[in-house]
Structure 1
Amino acid sequence: MESVYRRSGRAEVTEDPCPITDSEIMVILKPDADERTVGQEVMEAAEAMPFPVEVNTPMQERIAEGIGGTPADIQVKVFGRDLEALRGSIKELRERLMKVEGIRSVTPDTPDPMPRWRLVLDEEALRRLGVSRSLVTRTLQAALQGLPSEIRFEGPQRIERMVRFPNDGRTSPETLKGTPLVLDDGRALTLGQVAHFEEASTPTLVRRESGQRRIGLNIRTSGDLGGTAKRIESALEGVKLPEGAFIKLGGKIEEARETQRRLGLAIVAALTLVVGLLYIALKTWREVLVVLATLPDAFAGALLALWLAGETWNISSIVGMIGLFGVAVQNSLVLITQAKSLMAQGLPFEAALREASLGRVRPKLMTAGAAILGLMPMLFGFGGSELERPLAIAMVGGLVTSTLFTLLALPSFYAWVGKPKTEAVAEYH
């Protein structure tokens, strides 16, 4: 680590949604530091803390908070009216979730209730002794906060003088019970004669969503996000909740599911458009099939590259898959159009295919190489591009396998599938 600094609370006037009870510790790494190793060590230290800790990069945290309301991978939200009952349910849910495979840590998204002392007035004593509620309130305010006694101005500056009871800086129920109450008739009583203190607790933070109170558990996963979410949903089945309460999953998985649905539609639209344009260019479905044969190989290479790099199937990698649609078919389309051009000049099918395959090796390698070199900054994470890294990994893996397939296997596949009918009939006879 190169430097560490902390930010606690927030500005008085700000758009930051974080509560004033939050602290952020920013860590600047040295240029030669391994981000994964340091991140793993920080997470292990955070899990040992007695309070909830989230470990993330600043960019990922802001994006996650914007799209899902929390930087957690998965958040189990429990909605209901009674916060005390919800806290009891949260404890049971946490015990269940810790047994689910793929979960690294489970922490509440709100701190524990803050202990406090509650003043309970003795109504009978108030009536018997002739003490008003307002007198008790003013006396406590004078003892704890002070009462304004004078306001004066020094130029534009407004100065307010406060008067309060003398104290030694320690406030406890026992000392407050001895606070004097002076009545209008001159009698002097003590606060302990008309009230007593009870130990209670109050929420330090109340979260609301869609107009309803909620408590959440932030879950950090260590594998496939979608598979872990399904196991969590199975573990939550049959959980007894307070009346009117219900559970909803949030976090990155919420936005991931919605985005994957939209990207699924985008994949279908892109594939349809590519197939349509290929048919317009090639005029036959057989040759369109030959060109599209590179797509499964490209996708297999992308998945293999993601697995080797330790990345998961996420939104960025899906976008990389969509980008492979046009890039992967480019070389195979060049091969087929070149072969058809040579056939139009009078060469037989096999001779034209051989010439197109051998004569276009360098342009194919240059095309794929230029694309891969352009993705290198994102691939190695230069300039804070950790979000785009899965996209680059998927595209590089797909480009490598699709280029090899185009150079080594596609000519044979085209010779088997795309041979003109006239030559096929002639060979048969």
Structure 2
Amino acid sequence: PLVAEIYGPDYDGQIAVAQALRRQFETTPDIVDVDDSVEAPAKRLILKVDRQRAALLGVPQASVADTLDAALGGADVTYVHTGHEKHPVPVRVELPVADKASLDALLALEIRSASGALVPLSEVIRVQEGIWDRAIHHKDLLRVTYVTGDMAGDLDSPLYGMLALSQKISSEPVAGQRLDQHYIEQPENPYRYSVKWDGEWQITYETFRDMGIAYGVGLILIYLLVVAQFRSYLVPLVIMAPIPLTLLGVMPGHALLGAQFTATSMIGMIALAGIIVRNSILLVDFIQEDVARGKSLDETVIRAAAVRARPIILTGLAAMLGAFFILDDPIFSGLAVSLIFGILVSTALTLVVIPVLYYSVRYRSERPH
């Protein structure tokens, strides 16, 4: 869901901002099931003992409290001892459930005064109306009010709803307040009204942040491994050059199938990096072996793509075929789309880009200055 957290110096002000922001949620297209954490005022009845009246009638205040406690919550008034029970059985007195909800039934209860007379509770109790205190939510020791909603329609990602609402908040005050907006962390200044976007957006951000870090670490490790293999700092860059080309297949593939780019799509891109590097290594290793045998660089570069095309294409087709079986899975469809379209485009481009780049690097390094 889409979650807006409202912070501020005054809780009543936060409630006013939350209610105004809720109206903006409701008027934003594709946002449904809007709700907030603001509780509606709830009435309550307060029973107060009239001390002067109770003293005049000889009714102790403690007796009034005990009588009400027994009527509403029940009380053990005595015990029954039988010859068949090891422990005494308590006798509990309590009003019926229907009478507990009736104020008249409570006030009709009688209590014995000091003189022995029975006095109705209505004689010594005054009924006042009040309002229950609202629950105050806190997050990391800061008072917070929530406004929530879900996305519907073709664009069901909360990111689109958040961006639409963010533009509204930036362009006009909310409940007379200019709101600071925070997307990653809570506001540092609790004395200004602000909104922190949370919910699925926060989960998405943290997931892709961690995936991006993992992707970067993976690329560094691949580079170090290829450096150790070819004993060169430049050749690994040529081998890894087709990795960005996977975007030319992954992104249009998601758009073509109407699929969202999810965390599993990112996992597919990480897997693609290894597949593409393997294909590049096959080509570069073939070229270097032929050149070492004394063949010309021009002939070897042309021959490498033709000779290595078959194993590269077959391994790519095998990976694509395996991904087809999870294409309709609601969770792993993004992984399948990334693998299928990423391998399709990058394999075709690798057969062209790697020989050309390697030829260019070798030609420049061997050309007399």
TM-score interval, smaller chain: 0.7 to 0.9
Q: Which residue pairs with 1:229 in the alignment? A: 162
SS of the residue aligned with 1:420? helix
Aligned pairs (5 A) from 1:93-172: 93-100=21-28, 103-108=31-36, 112=40, 115-151=43-79, 159-165=89-95, 169=99, 171-172=101-102
Q: 2:105 aligns with which of 175, 182, 185?
A: 175
Q: Tell me if 1:330 matches 2:278.
A: yes
After superposition, what is the alpha-carbon deviation per residue over 1:309-361, rounded to whole angstroms, capped at 9, x for unaligned? 43333433333322222222221221121122122223222322233222222
Once residues 97 and 365 of structure 2 are traced to their aligned partners in structure 1, the CA distance between those partners, rounded to angstroms, is 108
Q: Which residue pairs with 2:127 in the alignment? A: 197
Q: Which residue pairs with 2:182 in the alignment? A: none
Amino acid at match of 1:147: A
Q: Report if the CA contact (8 A) 2:99-2:105 is conserved.
A: no
Q: Which residue pairs with 1:349 in the alignment? A: 297
RMSD over aligned Cα atoms:
3.8
Q: 1:413 aligns with which of 330, 339, 356?
A: 356
Q: Which residue pairs with 2:184 in the alignment? A: none
Q: Which residue pairs with 1:398 in the alignment? A: 342
Aligned pairs (5 A) from 1:12-411: 72=1, 74-79=2-7, 86-100=14-28, 103-108=31-36, 112=40, 115-151=43-79, 159-165=89-95, 169=99, 171-202=101-132, 207-221=137-151, 222-226=155-159, 228-236=161-169, 238-239=173-174, 240=177, 247-283=195-231, 287-381=235-329, 386-407=330-351, 409-410=352-353
Are the structure 2 counterparts of residues 265 and 150 from structure 1 closer, same or farther at C-alpha, using a change threshold of 3 Å?
Answer: same
* CA displacement at 1:205 relative to structure 2: 6.6
**Sequence identity (%):** 23
Amino acid at match of 1:229: M
Q: Which has the higher contact order (CA 8 A, sep 6+)?
A: 2
SS of the residue aligned with 1:106? strand
Amino acid at match of 2:247: F
Contiguous gaps of at least 5 residues in structure 1 = 1-71
Query: Which deviates further from its counterpart, 99-108 or 171-180?
Result: 99-108
Are the structure 2 counterparts of residues 254 and 354 from structure 1 closer, same or farther at C-alpha, using a change threshold of 3 Å?
Answer: same
Amino acid at match of 1:135: S
For the pair shown, the structure with the greater C-alpha radius of gyration is: 2
Q: Report if the CA contact (8 A) 1:114-1:202 is conserved.
A: yes
Once residues 156 and 366 of structure 1 are traced to their aligned partners in structure 2, the CA distance between those partners, rounded to angstroms, is 83
* CA displacement at 1:176 relative to structure 2: 2.7
Once residues 112 and 157 of structure 1 are traced to their aligned partners in structure 2, the CA distance between those partners, rounded to angstroms, is 48
TM-score between the two structures when normalised by the length of structure 2: 0.76
Are the structure 2 counterparts of residues 361 and 141 from structure 1 closer, same or farther at C-alpha, using a change threshold of 3 Å?
Answer: same
Once residues 405 and 156 of structure 1 are traced to their aligned partners in structure 2, the CA distance between those partners, rounded to angstroms, is 89
Once residues 204 and 378 of structure 1 are traced to their aligned partners in structure 2, the CA distance between those partners, rounded to angstroms, is 49
Contiguous gaps of at least 5 residues in structure 2 = 180-189
After superposition, what is the alpha-carbon deviation per residue over 1:203-238, rounded to whole angstroms, capped at 9, x for unaligned? 797644334554322232344544543444454454
* CA displacement at 1:90 relative to structure 2: 2.3
Once residues 193 and 234 of structure 1 are traced to their aligned partners in structure 2, the CA distance between those partners, rounded to angstroms, is 61
Once residues 158 and 254 of structure 1 are traced to their aligned partners in structure 2, the CA distance between those partners, rounded to angstroms, is 59
